[in-house]
């Protein structure tokens, strides 16, 4: 398959080609509801923490209204929070 994506890194799957923006980490990504379930808090609670806490990780990938966060970065941040 010969597609010129410039500096984008194409990722092929069986059904489509997913393109990651430059600088996006290649590790596992999670949405806020997935992370909230893992941490045992509600989705609105985690969304508020990510929006209001200083040093909170930023989303590494956006598509429409969905955002994906680097799993390892969010776990490390969550461990260091004073709740």
Q: Rounded mean pLDDT of the chain?
A: 79
pLDDT at 63: 82
pLDDT at 61: 84
For residue 7, pLDDT beyond 90: no
Beta strands in the chain (DSSP E): 9-12, 17-20, 29-30, 61-63, 66-70
Give the DSSP H or E segment for 39.
Answer: helix 32-39
* 14 confidence band (pLDDT: 50, 70, 90): low
pLDDT in tens, 26-62: 678 899 999 999 999 999 999 999 999 989 999 988 8
CA 39 – CA 41 distance, rounded (Å): 6
């Amino acid at each position: 398959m010969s597609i010129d994506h410039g500096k984008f890194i194409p990722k092929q799957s069986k059904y489509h080609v997913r393109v990651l923006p430059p600088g996006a980490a290649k590790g596992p990504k999670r949405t806020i509801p997935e992370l909230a379930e893992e941490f045992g808090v509600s989705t609105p609670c985690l969304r508020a923490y990510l929006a209001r806490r200083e040093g909170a990780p930023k989303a590494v990938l956006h598509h429409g209204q969905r955002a994906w966060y680097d799993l390892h970065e969010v776990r490390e941040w969550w461990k260091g929070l004073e709740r």
